Amino acid sequence: MTNVQTLPRVAVDLGSDTSTRPTKAMLAAMMAAETGDEQLGEDPTTTALNERVADLLGKEAAVFMPSGTICNQIAMLVHTRPGDEVICGAGAHVYGSEGAGIAVMGGALIRPIACDRDIFDADQLTAAVRRPKMRAPRSRLVVLEQTANRGGGAVWPLAAIQSVAARAREHGLAVHMDGARLMNACVAAGVSAKDFAAPFDTAWIDLSKGLGCPVGAVLAGPRDFIEAAWVWKHRLGGALRQSGILAAAGLHALDHHVERLAVDHENARIFASLAAAIPGVRLDPQTVETNIVFLDLSATGIDTAILYRRLREQGVRIMVEGPTRMRAVTHLDVTRADVERAAAMLAQSVEAGPT
């Protein structure tokens, strides 16, 4: 196995928008943060962030968490009981990228819906809801991911969200939003976070993806839900104590890093257009709505592990999603020149052939 330490430094990192590093201004805000004990409600910076996100999403209360995965897991743990079932898109993060956490910790199941770009409609939801039977799991919760990562960063349209949420309630289901890239959706669609979140019982936003923070996410919902979420937060690791140092990064990001997400989207479209012109690379640049680009490399005859190695040798990282599929994600630390370089290196790597 190749020792990655022998590879050059990553100069253009399109692996994920979690690759960002805090800006100097963000670091300064973190160093200047007023702190206290989060568990006692005495960290003023964390309290300010929670209140800001609750208002942003139009919810009663919010709680700062170490990650979006923990937000999803705790939300599902509060909404469900052992033997319940959670419905989501087949490509959803809660289904394929969270270690089956809800099954391990909560005894609940995931029921995935196969759908185009990981966006399903109300009728598909109805088809997935189980009729109550003594011997069947009980459908309890619907999770929508905004944006749909495995759908190529597709934005759930507000009308589609409203339709699915209304149908869910007809079936007596709660509705939760995985808002990992909610702010990308807001900027791309011109819809406020409050409007996107309104149909949901609970929602969260990630701070460590497009917003560029080193750590964190904030989960919001009704006050009694947040009280129950705090119980699970303690069970899964406890309070963060002087969390204001981290919360300050989130406040800085909300002040300075939201509108600039449009730059990431434009860079993704540029990369997609350049990549689509490479013989053997299949993708439709018109489908790129936000900051995620999936590349179908099946026609090149080259295993993506080989392409990954070739790109890394040139200081470029694009992640492998399967033997014929790769994913590139633009973010705060990626410029137009970077995506142009990455596309040029991809073309060179593909031109080298299968061996």
Average pLDDT over residues 252-273: 98
Q: Which amino acid is at 265?
A: H
Q: Where in the chain is the domain with CATH 3.40.640.10?
A: 33-256
Structural tokens at position 228: 């129950």
Q: 160, 121 in Cβ contact below 8 A? A: yes
CATH hierarchy code of domain 33-256 = 3.40.640.10
Q: 217, 50 in Cβ contact below 8 A? A: no
Task: Identify the bridge partners of residue 286 per DSSP, sorted by sequence position.
Answer: none
pLDDT for 284 equals 96
Fold annotation for 4-20+260-351: Aspartate Aminotransferase, domain 1 (3.90.1150)
Structure confidence by residue, pLDDT tens digits, 23-65: 999 999 999 999 999 999 999 999 999 999 999 999 999 999 9
CA distance 92 to 144: 8
Q: 352, 23 in Cβ contact below 8 A? A: no
Q: Which amino acid is at 59?
A: K
CA distance 352 to 301: 11
Q: Which amino acid is at 338?
A: D
pLDDT for 5 equals 56
Structural tokens at position 129: 């809801």
CA distance 298 to 287: 19
Q: Where in the chain is the domain with CATH 3.90.1150.10?
A: 4-20+260-351
Whether the predicted pLDDT of 3 surpasses 70: no
Best CA proximity match to 39, nearest among 321, 260, 239: 239
CA distance 244 to 263: 29
CA distance 148 to 231: 29
Percent of the chain with pLDDT over 90: 97
* Cis upstream peptide for 335 (omega within 30°): no
Mean of per-residue pLDDT scores for the chain: 96
Query: Please, what sign has the CA dihedral across residues 69, 67, 104, 139?
Result: negative
**Given the structure tokens 């590093």, which residue do they identify?**
21
* The model's pTM: 0.96
CA distance 53 to 48: 9
pLDDT for 222 equals 98
Q: 339, 271 in Cβ contact below 8 A? A: yes
CA distance 30 to 20: 16
Q: Is 157 exposed, middle or buried (0-12, 13-18, 19+ CB in 10 A)?
A: middle
Q: 304, 297 in Cβ contact below 8 A? A: yes
Task: Identify the bridge partners of residue 217 per DSSP, sorted by sequence position.
Answer: 65, 206
Can you list the positions of beta strands (E) in 71-221? Answer: 84-89, 109-113, 138-145, 174-178, 202-206, 217-221
CA distance 336 to 340: 6
Whether the predicted pLDDT of 293 surpasses 80: yes
Whether the predicted pLDDT of 212 surpasses 60: yes
pLDDT for 1 equals 39
pLDDT for 8 equals 85
Helix axes 244-256, 44-57, angle to 10 degrees: 40
Structural tokens at position 199: 């149909």
Question: What is the dihedral angle through the alpha carbons of 67, 71, 74, 76, rounded to the nearest 10 degrees?
Answer: -140
Query: Residue 2 — very low, low, confident or very high, per pLDDT cuts 50/70/90?
Result: very low
